[in-house]
Amino acid sequence: MPTMTTPTQTDRLETGYELDRREFFTKLGLGSLGLASAGALAFYYRYLSPSVLFEPSPIVNAGPLDRYPAGSVTLDVDSAIYLVHIAEGYFSLSAICTHLGCMTAWKPELNMIACPCHGSRFNREGQKLAGPAPKPLPWLKTWLSDDGELMVDRSVTIPQLQFLRV
C-alpha cells in the first residue's frame, strides 16, 4: 500500500500549493491573538502613562495702575476677572456668574454686570441685583507688586469692601 506524505514547505512553494484548512485557522488564531495582545499593551501603556492637566497660574499680572482710569470697570477675558477702580481704591471681581458658571459682561449703559445666559445682574461691587444667582460675585485678592504692577490671585477670595488703596 502506498504511503501518503504531506508536502514540505518547499514543495508547496514550487507547486503553488495553498494552505490547508487547519493551517489557515492556526495562522488566523495566532494572528488574532497577536492583535489582541498588541491592543491590550496599548491600553496598558495609556493607563500607566500620567495624565496631567496643565492649568494656568491663578495669579494674574494685570499691568500698571494707569491702565485703569478712575471710575472704570475693565474685563480681562483671558483670566475672567473684572478690575474696578473707584474713589475708594482698586479691587477685582470674578467674572464667572455664581449661578451656573457663565461668563458675565459689563454693561456700561446700565452701570451693571449682567449674565447673558440666565439673566442674573450684579452691581459694580458684585452684589446681586436680580436673577437666579445665589451669591454675589466673589472679590479676589488684589495687591501691588514690587514693580508697581497690579496683581490678582484668582484662587483667593476676600471679604467685600477691602480695597487696594494707593
Greater model confidence, 10 or 108: 108
Note the Cα 52 to chain centre separation in Å.
11
The pLDDT tens digits of the residues spanning 127-166 come to 998 889 899 999 999 999 988 899 999 998 898 888 888 7
| Per-residue pLDDT at 55 | 81
Cα-based distances in Å from 76 to 3, 60, 94, 118? 91, 10, 10, 21
**What's the confidence (pLDDT) of residue 4?**
58
Contact 69, 86 (CB under 8 A): no
